[in-house]
């Protein structure tokens, strides 16, 4: 049996095309007690047939309930559904969360939805693997169907790869003691109370994010959930901290600690491993390193992506004209587009157009690539922040500044940017020629780095945006995640000691009672006595004039939007749910009572609350009129003390703001056609509630 159990060592050595090892569990052919399984493991270890890392994997799979080798193969390689919204994927995740304990020896990593091993999570991963004093861990990396696994990890016994939407993915995401991600996890992710979740994000927000973007209504539902579910948030500087708190409506909601420790990925740029730069120059065909005065400078052009009408676009003619102009200068030119651009115009095709342009292989990370760059050219990409600690020249090529700022939004004015700003192709080539000449006047690169040729504004930007980048950010991040140690670095929380008032809007259909709800909301936001939070369906039809009033309050009014999804009810919970939903209970007290009396249905709403809001709790909760019984049941999980309708809200005594009546155009039309208190309005309201109840049932 142990020969079969240990066969994963051989299966990891499969041909390159196969990305997921089939790793059998600890009890394949028969059911055994945990003690018997561990006894066999100890015997195997004693006979040198299983090392400790293999033991970690074996234990991690002990609760997966895999009964034969076919099931074990499917665990790793067979998708449960087409994507993360598939019911089978979500239900399996719920079952894995409910049935299995959290395993503190497992760390789950995901970079950009499983596209690669990289970015800040990779820096933390490398540090933990090379420093056993943190403990011994099984490292699980999320990979999508296109991800390439580096050769050095194919045979590593402490590293495994879980394909997205397979059982291995749901199992490890549900049971890992630590989760580390640099973007958004799937919407079904519901952090368990014993799990630590660190979000590292993936760059300093030069571009506007979330509700800060010009076209945002309430902000990004996915981004809101990402930062609300995190227990640990990694930030490189206070600028990033404040932008994230505002963009993703964290004030009054999140219980995370935000620590300004630097970015682990930048360690690779400013403190590369020995011989890394020489090896990169050889692979890229660059000149050997020399002093600046006798060296043809290496220029990297790394633009970000653009979109029109929510679709990614690339102006290929503009791109090639710019690159051809730069390639004509006395430089060694490299080009790397944003990964979202690469889907539309392959980097390799750019090299085919002009053989003088060097196209770095995608296997070389951007942070490694920056170690051999002398001059960086970019636009609105946050890559320049990673290059900034090196002290070398930066040129910001902003040929579409007005259009980009209007449609996408940016957080920095041109006078805040370190380095040169070019608005035209002619200015671009002039800037490159100028800074290349300045570099040649330096006797060494060390001198250029210690005293940036672009002057005092550049040094000020270094202090503002990368005060912690000293080559040890990975260590600090690992200390923060594993040991909750901050090493005397700045840290922030979003709760400021004031009571939090949540206004639960749901879909907030236009009506006089909705106007009353919004009036109470704005009064609360105008008061310094409480932190105000609007919890709202991201598709709720709120007038633009009212939205502008809401946005004016900034962080004093967090607009927490969420994606409405079908309630996830397991087959064994359906009878309890049907009993709960057997009547039209649109009264909060009745709904809350029915949830409390029905142990079979309570987990359904607890799960959905945590999926949306994690462990957020509020001192007072004010409800919109006409919430569905599902929304009322979810809202019943939110309040510590008072939950009532918004029309019962009384402004705090120190509120001095008098607000004008709120009435939308649609509301005024409704008042005219269906006057309040009339029989036809009551009939319309009953018909609407019944229709919504039928719609909810059809989505189950």
Average pLDDT rounded to a whole number, residues 426-449: 90
pTM (predicted TM-score):
0.86
Q: Which residues, at least 6 apart from 256, have a Cβ–Cβ distance to it below 8 Å?
A: 227, 228, 230, 231, 232, 233, 250, 493, 494
- With pLDDT > 70 as the criterion, what percentage of the chain qualifies? 82
Average pLDDT, the chain: 86
What is the structure's pLDDT at 288? 86
- pLDDT level of residue 37 (50, 70, 90 thresholds): very low
Q: Please, which pLDDT band fits residue 487 given cuts at 50, 70 and 90?
A: confident
- Give the residue, 580 or 421, on which the prediction is more confident: 421
| Cα distances (angstroms) measured from residue 442 to each of 225, 332, 453 | 49, 18, 9
Q: Give residues with Cβ within 8 angstroms of 610, minimum separation 6.
A: 190, 191
Task: Identify the structural domains of the chain with CATH numbers, from first to last.
Answer: 2-199 (3.40.50), 282-468 (3.40.50.12580), 500-698 (no CATH)
What are the tens digits of pLDDT across the range 547-596? 999 999 999 999 999 998 899 999 999 999 998 888 766 688 888 888 88
Of the pLDDT bands very low, low, confident and very high (cuts 50, 70, 90), residue 29 is very low
pLDDT bucket at 669, cuts 50 / 70 / 90: low
Q: pLDDT-derived band of residue 55, with 50, 70 and 90 as boundaries? A: confident
Residue partners of 17: CB distance under 8 A and separation at least 6: none
The distance in angstroms from the start CA to the end CA of the chain is 44
Query: Are residues 428 and 422 in contact, defined by beta-carbon separation less than 8 angstroms?
Result: yes
Contact 138, 157 (CB under 8 A): no
CA angle 490, 492, 497 (to 5 degrees): 140
Mean pLDDT for the stretch of residues 605-618:
96
Q: Which residue has the higher pLDDT, 50 or 482?
A: 482
């Amino acid at each position: 049996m142990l020969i079969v159990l240990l066969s994963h060592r051989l299966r990891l050595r499969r041909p390159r095309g196969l990305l997921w090892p089939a790793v059998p569990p600890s009890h394949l052919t028969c059911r055994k007690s945990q003690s018997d399984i561990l006894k066999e493991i100890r015997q195997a270890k004693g006979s040198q047939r299983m090392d400790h890392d293999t033991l970690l994997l074996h234990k991690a799979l002990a609760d997966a309930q895999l009964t034969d080798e076919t099931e074990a193969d499917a665990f790793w390689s067979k998708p449960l559904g087409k994507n993360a919204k598939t019911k089978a994927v979500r239900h399996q995740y719920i079952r894995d969360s409910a049935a299995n304990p959290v395993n503190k020896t497992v760390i789950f990593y995901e970079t950009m939805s499983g596209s690669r091993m990289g970015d800040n999570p990779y820096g933390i991963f490398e540090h933990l693997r090379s420093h056993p004093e943190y403990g011994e861990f099984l490292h699980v990396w999320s990979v999508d169907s296109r991800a390439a696994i580096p050769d050095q990890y194919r045979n590593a016994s402490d590293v495994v790869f879980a394909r997205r939407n397979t059982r291995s993915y749901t199992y490890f995401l549900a049971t890992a003691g630590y989760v580390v991600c640099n973007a958004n996890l799937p919407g079904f992710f519901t952090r368990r109370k014993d799990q630590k979740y660190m979000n590292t994000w993936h760059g300093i927000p030069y571009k506007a994010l979330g509700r800060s973007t010009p076209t945002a209504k309430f902000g990004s539902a996915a981004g809101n959930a990402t930062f609300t579910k995190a227990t640990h948030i990694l930030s490189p500087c206070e600028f990033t901290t404040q932008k994230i708190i505002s963009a993703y409506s964290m004030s009054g909601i999140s219980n995370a600690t935000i620590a300004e420790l630097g970015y682990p990925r930048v360690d690779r740029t400013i403190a590369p491993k020995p011989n890394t730069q020489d090896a990169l120059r050889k692979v890229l065909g660059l000149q050997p390193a020399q002093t600046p005065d006798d060296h043809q400078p290496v220029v990297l052009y790394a633009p970000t992506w653009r979109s029109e009408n929510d679709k990614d676009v690339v102006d290929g003619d503009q791109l090639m004209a710019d690159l051809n102009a730069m390639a004509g200068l006395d430089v060694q030119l490299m080009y790397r587009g944003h990964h979202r651009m690469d889907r539309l115009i392959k980097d390799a095709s750019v090299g085919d157009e002009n053989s003088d342009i060097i196209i770095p292989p995608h296997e070389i990370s951007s942070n490694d690539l920056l170690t051999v760059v002398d001059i960086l050219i970019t636009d609105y990409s946050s890559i320049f922040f990673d290059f900034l600690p090196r002290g070398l020249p930066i040129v910001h090529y902003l040929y579409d500044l007005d259009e980009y700022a209007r449609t996408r939004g940016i957080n920095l004015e041109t006078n805040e940017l370190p380095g040169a700003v070019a608005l035209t192709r002619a200015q671009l080539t002039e800037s490159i020629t100028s800074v290349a000449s300045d570099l040649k006047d330096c006797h060494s690169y060390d001198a250029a780095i210690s005293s940036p040729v672009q002057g005092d504004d550049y040094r000020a930007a270094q202090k503002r945006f990368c005060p912690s980048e000293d080559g040890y950010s990975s260590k600090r991040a690992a200390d923060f995640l594993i040991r909750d140690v901050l090493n005397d670095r700045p840290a922030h929380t979003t709760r400021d000691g004031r009571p939090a008032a949540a206004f639960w809007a749901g879909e907030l259909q236009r009506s006089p009672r909705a106007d009353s709800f919004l009036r109470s909301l704005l009064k609360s936001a105008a008061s310094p006595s409480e932190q105000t939070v609007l919890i709202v369906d991201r598709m709720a039809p709120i007038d633009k004039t009212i939205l502008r009033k809401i946005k004016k309050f900034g962080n004093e009014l967090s607009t927490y939007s969420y994606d409405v999804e079908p309630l996830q009810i397991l087959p064994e919970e359906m009878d309890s749910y049907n009993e709960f939903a057997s009547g039209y209970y649109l009264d909060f007290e009745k709904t809350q009572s029915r949830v409390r009396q029905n142990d079979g249905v309570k987990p359904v709403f607890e799960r959905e609350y945590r999926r949306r809001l994690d462990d957020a709790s509020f001192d007072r909760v004010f409800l919109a009129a006409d919430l569905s019984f599902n929304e009322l049941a979810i809202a019943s999980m939110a309040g510590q003390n008072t939950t009532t309708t918004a029309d019962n809200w009384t402004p705090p005594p120190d509120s001095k703001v008098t607000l004008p009546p709120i009435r939308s155009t649609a509301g005024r039309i409704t008042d005219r056609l269906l006057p309040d208190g009339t029989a036809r309005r009551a009939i319309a309201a009953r018909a609407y509630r019944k229709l919504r109840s039928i719609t909810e049932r059809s989505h189950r």
